[in-house]
Amino acid sequence: MVSEKNTIRRLSELPILFRKPDAEKVAPHTAAFLSRALQKGLVHRLSRGNYINSLLKGFPAIEEVACFLKPPAYISCEWALNRHGIIIQAPSVCTVVTLSGSVGRAKDVEYQGVTLEFSKIAPALFFGFVRHETFWIAGAEKALLDTLYLHKTIPASDEMETDLLDSETLWRMAEKYPASVSRRLSEILTYSSTY
């Protein structure tokens, strides 16, 4: 009973999302503390060394978890396009754009039925995102360009709400990307304007 009270007291000192070094500051025997908390369902492990303080704080939003795992990072591609109302299809993959080199399918994380996919981008292309509540997200124009750059195509591009995009911002940002992105963008915008 005393150890459970100590565990809960220590958990109350940790944020909703925390790393093992954060736990080391409040629990002298960190491995035992985390093992006990996991067994009792007081915390949930996201990936190696990353945890959710679920007992006291609940479960954070998908986007918040995604940006926490590989900072600096922002939400982009189809997930951001859907949030901005540009595409209506709800994606099952949340693309996280990061400067971290630790990316690839082996680094994907499953959280609340969604795959968190991490994509590295060059520092020169790490722009065009804003803070939204507890996470960073690409603006609609940046999300479209990131999708064309990282995924080469947009699913159901014929159903995109391109009238919601600021074309001046879109083309100004596109200048920073390789020419292939501008060509793909031109094709999509030409196609959507004819239908």
165: number of Cβ within 10 Å: 20
Together in a domain, 146 and 93? yes
Together in a domain, 6 and 88? no
Query: Residues 18-36: pLDDT tens digits?
Result: 999 999 999 989 999 999 9
Instruction: Record the pTM.
Output: 0.91
Number of domains in the chain: 2
Together in a domain, 49 and 79? no
Query: Residues 149-172: pLDDT tens digits?
Result: 999 988 777 788 999 999 999 999
- Listed in sequence order, the DSSP H helices in the chain are 2-12, 20-26, 30-39, 54-57, 62-69, 77-83, 140-150, 167-174, 179-194
Together in a domain, 101 and 173? yes
Together in a domain, 118 and 183? yes
Together in a domain, 95 and 155? yes
Q: Are 27 and 10 in contact (CB under 8 A)?
A: yes
Q: Which residues contact 33 (CB under 8 A, 6 or more apart)?
A: 7, 10, 23, 27
What is the pLDDT, as a whole number, of residue 192?
62
Together in a domain, 96 and 141? yes
Domain limits at 45?
2-57
What is the pLDDT, as a whole number, of residue 177?
98
Q: Are 95 and 76 in contact (CB under 8 A)?
A: yes
Q: Are 22 and 15 in contact (CB under 8 A)?
A: yes
